[in-house]
A = this chain, B = another copy of it.
């Protein structure tokens, strides 16, 4: 197959990890006889510096013409005091909205020989394997009005949804549950919010179409507790944009290896933007020591979800697993008795293992 991929390295370690994942994708192409072409565009802080805006029009249009997008990370202290429209994260929020990437998938699963780094006791966290499906283009993030009023004496933000926006994310989460353990937890605050009441109704309607899936409704405050006390009880969780932001970051630290977590943000047609969950880590940028595995695993999600290359995706994932099992780790992690390697070495280990 022939596929065109836009790379959005972004800021900080974004460049290093994106190039690492590109190398892995090229190895996959060679191995499986695909043709992947690449093009790199600016987003975030680097786009502010080069084009005066965090999301240049040419970045958006390149993404529209691509088969998939791989993003590194955005942000850094250089832009922290910029006015709101010149902040790196506006690029991220903008591209999600422009490309209609309403479904954010964040799988969380521990790696056995990294679990010792978890803040949780091993017996609490060890069997966790969950997927958070976060609505990404609506809710409290994008509702209007979002403004000051009365000469700055008051302020409002708006949590807004169209029914069809809730329906499509809920359907997506049922589909995901069907491919997993067939358990769906819908997270809301239906004892307070009208939008949550509607969310709950939509889930109740759509579940008729998925009789094999067990559905549970959970309040967001209870979910925040249970993610810690018993993360293994969850399979797929689906929730509103802001709730999903909070819960997915909460979930990301449970296994002790934030540097390993990939994510996918997709539209209705299976087009997606793939990115690691971790940030731009400006403190270690440019040193060649960043952990490329979350971005490499994001590339695997791209192969699976956008290109339907399940076999290729699994080859990447098992190569990453093997590298860890052999004790290789970057400096953000520690494996007792293992060997610390840099970005480049880790990337080539993965490539060698996937070709083997």
Complex formed: what's the CA distance from A229 to B252 in Å? Answer: 11
Q: Output the nearest chain B residue to A160 by Cβ-Cβ distance.
A: B156
A229 & B253 in contact (Cβ 8 Å cutoff): yes
Taken residue by residue from 94 to 129, chain A's Cβ proximity to chain B (1 for < 8 Å, 0 otherwise) reads as: 000000000000000000000000011100100000
A194 contacts B by Cβ under 8 Å: yes
- Count of this chain's copies in the oligomeric assembly: 2
A157 engages B195 (CB within 8 Å) = yes
Assess A195 versus B155: contact at CB under 8 Å? Given A120-B119, A220-B246, A250-B250: yes
Q: How far is the CA of A27 from the CA of B92 in the complex (A)?
A: 60
Contact at B155–A158, with CB atoms within 8 Å? Answer: no
Interface check A23, CB cutoff 8 A? no
- The answer, yes or no, to whether A62 is at the interface (CB within 8 Å) is no
Contact with B along A145-165 (1 / 0, CB 8 A): 011100011111111111110
Q: How far, in angstroms, from A78 to B146 measured CA to CA in the complex?
A: 39
Q: Kindly identify which residue among B119, B140, B221 contacts A193, using a CB–CB cutoff of 8 Å.
A: B140
Which residue of B89, B156, B162 is within 8 Å of A159 (Cβ)? B156
Contact A157:B249 (CB < 8 A) given known A119-B121, A120-B120, A124-B119: no
Docked Cα-Cα span, A141 to B189, in Å, equals 10
- Chain B neighbourhood of A136, CB < 8 A: none
Which of A124, A155, A193, A221 has the most chain B CB atoms inside 10 A of its CB?
A155
Is B198's CB under 8 angstroms from A155's CB? yes
A311 to B225, CA, bound (A): 34
The answer, yes or no, to whether A63 is at the interface (CB within 8 Å) is: no
Q: Complex: how many Å from CA A309 to CA B257?
A: 47
CA distance A87 to B191 in the complex (A): 8
Measured between beta carbons, the chain B residues less than 8 angstroms from A356 are none
A254 with B242: CB separation less than 8 A: no
Contact of A249 among B153, B221, B252, B258 (CB under 8 A): B221
Q: Hey, which chain B residues are within 8 Å of A246, CB to CB?
A: 220-221, 224, 243, 246
Q: Is the CB of A194 within 8 A of B140?
A: no
Task: Tell which of A198, A242, A246, A254 has the most Cβ of chain B within 10 Å.
Answer: A246
| Complex Cα gap A258–B154 (Å) | 36
Query: Which 5 A-B residue pairings sit nearest by Cβ, starting from the closest?
Result: A221-B249, A224-B250, A157-B159, A119-B124, A155-B198
